[in-house]
Structure 1
Amino acid sequence: MAQTILAVDDEKDIAEMLKYYFTKQGYRVITAQNGKDALKFAEKKPDLILLDINLPDLDGLSICEKIRDFVSCPIIFLTARIEDGDKIRGFAAGGDDYVIKPFSMDELGARVAAHLRRELRRSGGSEVRFDENLVIDYSARRIFYQGKELLFAKKEFDIIEYLSQHPGQVFDKETIYERVWSYDSEGESSVITEHIRRIRAKFSAAGAGSYIETVWGCGYQWAR
């Protein structure tokens, strides 16, 4: 099931841009343009909230304080304010991060993914069993199939980590490349094809099925 993001911004263009971008990344996105709707939609327990500080009815800090009574997910403030005092008040209200407007959608996307990964590790522990055969220990960066350790290169593990923490979501090669190699790395997203071929070969050699599926014309997804 896709993770849910609640995006709150009183500017319609920004709200629509956030919905378009994160929907394309495989998330389910709910938008709100005022504090009243933000409080209502927060009751649906999203996985992460993007919260504009300057809203017409309730400011983002007040909303954050109110929803922290029943919401524990990461909250990222979207704001034009940059003073240290504002940041301190935001963190004190229960916020987890700040992104300054105008912002890069790719940078915001990277921060969202990082917060969701940390939340997944925190809620499920560092070791995750995907079925009766496969166990991934994210903290130790080790993978076991039927009790036997499988050895993967660093980038191979990074790809497995990223896809397995977003099961069922489809990512194109460019997105995987940006997340694993970072935005300013030199190289081609086509290297993803070769790395996934190697990953599949190692799973196959161990007698495992293909945990990474190709969605033709779209990209790859973690199948289980």
Structure 2
Amino acid sequence: MTRPELADRRVLVVEDDPTVLEVASTYLRAAGYLVDIASDGFAALEAAANRRPDLIVLDRMLPGIDGVEVCRRIRARSAVPIILLTALSATDDRIDGLEAGADDYLTKPFSPRELVLRVQSILRRSVTDLTPEAAVVLGAFELDPSARTVRRDGRELALSVREFDLLAFLLKHPRQAFSREQLLRAVWHWEFGDLSTVTVTVRRVREKIENDPTEPAILVTVWGVGYRLDL
């Protein structure tokens, strides 16, 4: 059952397989979402620009422009959450999608109920809690959890949903080392999953907070453990 504050959110489903498109759309509409559809990369870009969805479900393999390039182009101008649909066990596809800015992924074949749960989970994060969290100021960084913003030296960082979630978690737990498994559970709320999801998201966050992402001094690697925010 969709929470009332999540009802009537607009979801764009981009899929060239008519059966998958119909099933995904049907389940999302039944959950209370407004659903737009597209079946190729060019149509996806047009719909994303004109319909302004709250979330996009995007197939990796599309005619015209593939899903990774569509994701990259959308992410260049928008922080709209994107769930990528990838082929079973195609690790490279998942990594390519995450590096292009996808927030989450599902491997085919997938349960349509799982898709609805993933959509709900991501959209729920954008709903402001009625009890605002206090801001966190740490060094040059200011986290406003209620507004879902992070500023560095007064400038707001352009972060995707998962990038924000990861950086916010680390800002709340500075100078603590976390393994990728711990971050997967704490940030993604997954008990199991591809650990490269964490690796890629860390790399993307570094590109936005480090003076030199190739020599990180803020979000550092703790060899044999994982990562730590040094502030």
Q: Find the counterpart in structure 2 of residue 12 from structure 1.
A: 18
1:110 aligns with 2:117: yes
Give the conservation status (yes or no) of the 8 Å contact 2:86–2:94: no
Give the conservation status (yes or no) of the 8 Å contact 2:87–2:93: no
The counterpart of 2:39, out of the listed 20, 33, 40, is 33
Return the offset for 1:68.
1.0
Return the offset for 1:108.
1.0
Give the conservation status (yes or no) of the 8 Å contact 2:27–2:113: no
Please identify the structure whose Cα radius of gyration is greater. 1
How far apart, in 2, do the equivalents of 1:111 and 1:65 lie? Answer: 21
Give the conservation status (yes or no) of the 8 Å contact 2:13–2:25: yes
Aligned residues: 127
| 1:81–1:139 distance in 2 versus 1, CA, 3 Å | farther
One-letter amino acid of the counterpart of residue 18, structure 1: A
How far apart, in 2, do the equivalents of 1:101 and 1:138 lie? Answer: 38
Q: Find the counterpart in structure 2 of residue 185 from structure 1.
A: none
How far apart, in 2, do the equivalents of 1:90 and 1:68 lie? Answer: 11
Q: Find the counterpart in structure 1 of residue 102 from structure 2.
A: 95
One-letter amino acid of the counterpart of residue 2, structure 1: D
Within 5 Å, which residues of 2 pair with 1:27-106?
27-43=33-49, 44-106=51-113
Q: Find the counterpart in structure 2 of residue 174 from structure 1.
A: none
Give the conservation status (yes or no) of the 8 Å contact 1:2–1:26: yes
Give the conservation status (yes or no) of the 8 Å contact 1:3–1:28: yes
How far apart, in 1, do the equivalents of 2:114 and 2:77 lie? Answer: 28
TM-score (structure 2 length as normaliser): 0.52
Over aligned residue pairs, what C-alpha RMSD do you find? 1.8
| 1:94–1:24 distance in 2 versus 1, CA, 3 Å | same
| 1:103–1:139 distance in 2 versus 1, CA, 3 Å | farther
- 1:57-83 Cα shifts (integer Å, max 9, x gaps): 111000001111222111001111423
TM-score (structure 1 length as normaliser): 0.53
Consecutive unaligned residues in structure 1, runs of 5 or more: 127-135, 141-224
* Runs of 4+ with deviation above 3 angstroms: none
Return the offset for 1:138.
7.2
How far apart, in 2, do the equivalents of 1:103 and 1:113 lie? Answer: 16
Secondary structure of 1:40's match?
A: helix
Give the conservation status (yes or no) of the 8 Å contact 1:45–1:71: no
| 1:83–1:25 distance in 2 versus 1, CA, 3 Å | same
Secondary structure of 1:72's match?
A: coil
